[in-house]
Structure 1
Amino acid sequence: MKLKYWIYAARIYTLPLSFSGVTLSFFISKSRTNVSITAYILCVITALLLQILANFSNDYGDSITGVDNLKRVGPKRTVQCGFISLSEMKKAIYIFSILSFFSGLLLFCKTILWKNFFIFILYFIGIFICIYSSIKYSIGSNPYGYKIGMGDLFVMIFFGVLSIKGSYFLYTYTLCVDIFILSLSIGFLNVGVLNINNMRDLNNDCENRKYTIPVWLGIKYAKLYHAFIILISIFLGSYFIFLNQKTVYQWFFFIFTVIFLILHIKNIIYIKEKKLFNSELKKLVILTFLYELGIGIGFIL
């Protein structure tokens, strides 16, 4: 039965990254104004569909380029192992592209179509860019995920700025500087998740001409880069709470998560075996989810 392989290919453990972003902005929006629950649900569905599309595309693209091979330290991929064929994965990419488009279109019609047609057109174009970027990360003759720093930049944009600030605008129809600061904080944590993945597969990526930040810096400085982006995220998050502090709960949830993020940095610095990056990657996904959830819950208590 192939259902379990499709679930595996969707990389369920990464999906909290997209879910938590739009949920965080919803909680903050809810504390400031009246927000439609329908808009939130559509945001969640669209974000999840786009991330699954990106994961399927990565599985497909990396198998074609040879990045997914027997030397790879990370989890085996479904196309590489023959669990799902190239043609089946290609069809799935088409299906999730269509689903993402219509989900996004429904979201924009619900939230902004009758308020500002110009903004609606911008978001309409934006959904095409999101779909295209989800696919082009690993697929094509010149995938941007194989260029130095481009993967990190696009993760910052899509999982940080667009996830938080983009959804916040759909909820409230307002632009706020503090939300932009928060979106950068969340973006850096998501870049950290990608960086662990790239540190783990550094040698294999280098051999297959996938030039990630760790390939460029080397493992020693890639670890320092990782510590830097996590600390910057913590600083920006604390500044956001300082600007919006209302109750002690905001700091309590924040500090609780930060303690584990600091321990995570320590673990990354002292890792010797690359396979140990797998557990730290999953740990950072969970911590990112708790970090966002904690900030959001702190706002509504």
Structure 2
Amino acid sequence: MKLKYWIYAARFHTLPLSFSGITLSFLISKSRVNVNFNVYILCVLTALLLQILANFSNDYGDSITGIDNFKRIGPKRTIQSGFLSLLEMKKAIYLLSVLSFLSGFLLLYQSIPFKKIFVFLFYFIGILVCIYSSIKYSIGPSPYGYIVGMGDLFVFIFFGLLSVEGSYFLYTQTLQMDMFLLSSSMGLLSVAVLNINNMRDLDNDCENGKYTMAGWLGIKRAKLYHMISIFTSVFLGGFFIFLNQKTIYQWLIFILVVIFLIFHVKRIFFLKDKKLFNLELKRLVLITFLYGLSIGISNFL
């Protein structure tokens, strides 16, 4: 039975990134205006489908280019291990592309009034771009995930700006500058998650033509880059709370989660065994989700 291999290929431990920013945006929106819960559910569904599409595409693309080999430190891929064939994964990528489009279209139908036709078209094009980018990260003649800095940039945009600010507009039909702070904050944490992945497989990636920020910087500077990304994110999140402060409890909850981030950075700096990056990646995904919840829920207090 191959269901367990499809679940494995979806990389469930990374999926909280999909709805971390969307949930944070929903909680902030809910504290300000009346929000349609169905729009939130469709946002989450669309984001999950897009991330699974990206994970499937990554499995497929890295197998073709040879990035997935016996030297890879990260979790074994389903195609590399022989659990799924290239044809099966290709069909799954087509299916996920269609499902992502349908979910995204239904989301726009539910959230954007017909009179805002240009906004609808803008988001409609955005959905197509998201689907294309999910696939193009590691598939095609020039996958952007193999170009220095491009993977980080697109993760920042999709898991930060679009996830938070983009969904906030769908909830409220407005744009707020303070939400840009949270968009950047969540985007930087997502970049840090990607950076762990790239630090872990730095040597193998460089040998096989995948040039990431970690590969360009080297492991020592990549760890510094990691620290700067996380602490800049914390500063932006703290600035948002400062602008929207209601009670001291907002700071207490925020600081509690920041402590987990500080310990994470400390472990990354002193980490020697690259296999341990896998554990830190899972931890940071969970902390990122809790970080978003801490700001969102505390905004109600």
TM-score (norm 2): 0.99
Q: How do 1:123-142 and structure 2 match up within 5 A?
A: 123-142=123-142
Alpha-carbon distance in structure 1 between the residues aligned to 2:31 and 2:21: 16
> Partner residue of 1:62?
62
> Partner residue of 2:7?
7
Q: How do 1:91-240 and structure 2 match up within 5 A?
A: 91-240=91-240
Give the secondary structure class of the aligned counterpart of 1:80: coil
Alpha-carbon distance in structure 2 between the residues aligned to 1:296 and 1:98: 32
Unaligned runs of 5+ in 1: none
Alpha-carbon distance in structure 1 between the residues aligned to 2:62 and 2:94: 17
Give the secondary structure class of the aligned counterpart of 1:194: helix
Alpha-carbon distance in structure 1 between the residues aligned to 2:232 and 2:79: 37
> Partner residue of 1:254?
254
| Amino acid across the alignment from 1:219 | I
Alpha-carbon distance in structure 1 between the residues aligned to 2:115 and 2:190: 32
Aligned positions, number: 301
> Partner residue of 2:269?
269
Which runs of structure 1 show a deviation greater than 4 angstroms over 4 or more consecutive aligned residues? none
Q: How do 1:50-89 and structure 2 match up within 5 A?
A: 50-89=50-89
Alpha-carbon distance in structure 2 between the residues aligned to 1:249 and 1:114: 41
User: What's the RMSD between the two structures over aligned residues?
Assistant: 0.7
> Partner residue of 2:20?
20
How far apart are residue 107 of structure 1 and its match?
A: 0.5
Give the secondary structure class of the aligned counterpart of 1:287: helix
| Amino acid across the alignment from 2:163 | S
| Amino acid across the alignment from 2:157 | I
Alpha-carbon distance in structure 1 between the residues aligned to 2:243 and 2:251: 12
Alpha-carbon distance in structure 1 between the residues aligned to 2:285 and 2:51: 14
How far apart are residue 115 of structure 1 and its match?
A: 4.0
Alpha-carbon distance in structure 2 between the residues aligned to 1:300 and 1:134: 34
Q: How many percent identity over aligned positions?
A: 71
Alpha-carbon distance in structure 1 between the residues aligned to 2:4 and 2:237: 37
Provide Cα deviations, 1:138-186, integer angstroms capped at 9, x if missing partner: 0001000000000000000000000000000000010111001110000
Alpha-carbon distance in structure 2 between the residues aligned to 1:150 and 1:243: 32
Give the secondary structure class of the aligned counterpart of 2:265: helix
Alpha-carbon distance in structure 2 between the residues aligned to 1:254 and 1:115: 40
Provide Cα deviations, 1:47-89, integer angstroms capped at 9, x if missing partner: 1000000000000000000001110000000011010100000
> Partner residue of 1:282?
282
Give the secondary structure class of the aligned counterpart of 1:211: coil
Provide Cα deviations, 1:238-277, integer angstroms capped at 9, x if missing partner: 0011001112221122101100101111111101111111
Give the secondary structure class of the aligned counterpart of 2:80: helix
| Amino acid across the alignment from 1:281 | L
How far apart are residue 299 of structure 1 and its match?
A: 1.4
Alpha-carbon distance in structure 2 between the residues aligned to 1:187 and 1:177: 15
Provide Cα deviations, 1:166-222, integer angstroms capped at 9, x if missing partner: 000000010111001110000000000000000000000000010000110100100
